[in-house]
Amino acid sequence: MFLSVIILFVLFFFTAKNYKNNNLVPKGIAGFLEPLVTFVRDDIAIPNIGKKADKYTPYLLTVFFFVWINNLIGLIPFFPFSSNLTGNIFFTFVLAFITFLVTVFSGNKNYWKHILSPPVPKALYLIMIPIEIIGIFTKPFALMIRLFANITAGHIIILSLVSLIFIFNSVAVAPISGVFVLFMSVLELIVAALQAYVFTLLTALFIGQAVEDHDHH
């Protein structure tokens, strides 16, 4: 985790330095990161949060790059990498809990009104209010499980493919296992970015529901 923090700091330090030098056209690392930053801002934060997106974009960017970098670190099979951090449920719990805190403390009166006084007949309040309150907790829980399960599943499949060599106790299985491991590794590269995107998108969606100005029906 500290290694990913260092990588994150170095990447954005040099990116900031590039813009500080008044370079209108980003170069090097800045040229690579700028499209990703604008993507998170324009395609995730603004559509889901609206006019208050600028307030939460730094958090969304941090979540996106932090999760993505840790996913990639888990795919590099040698020291000092190879740690499957996002496959640790305690790690995903903390990330989801932070999103939970941001969402709850950002909730406006419309958000809490929808939960404590849902737009249904009053006879249904006894059922709907507990469901709405439970929903506050199930959303971050889904975030936690989704990231943990998807990352862990990929690593288990790769481990299973390698284990086939020892299960069959035959070198002849090695080329077949190797091809499938290579395929899964490439697929995991896509999953690494996809899961960072999904986690960030759902975080933005939950925050957007909490800060929207009109009643949500």
Q: How many angstroms separate the CA atoms of 150 and 67, rounded?
A: 13
Helix (H, G, I), strand (E, B) or coil at 82: coil
Determine the pLDDT at residue 23: 67
Yes or no: say if 206 and 99 are a contact pair by the CB < 8 Å rule: yes
Q: pLDDT tens across 73-102, in order? A: 988 877 777 778 898 999 999 999 999 999
Q: pLDDT tens across 19-34, in order? A: 887 767 777 888 889 9
Report residue 168 as tokens. 């069959």
Yes or no: say if 154 and 188 are a contact pair by the CB < 8 Å rule: yes
Mean pLDDT of the chain: 89
Q: What is the DSSP letter of 119?
A: S
Percentage of the chain modeled with pLDDT above 70: 97
- Helices assigned H by DSSP within 74-169: 89-106, 109-116, 125-168
Yes or no: say if 180 and 161 are a contact pair by the CB < 8 Å rule: yes
Determine the pLDDT at residue 211: 92
Report residue 135 as tokens. 């929903």
Q: What is the DSSP string of 46-60?
A: HHHHGGGHHHHHHHH
Angle between helices 109-116 and 125-168 (to 10 degrees): 100
Q: For the residues 161-189, what does the mean pLDDT come to?
A: 89
Determine the pLDDT at residue 49: 93
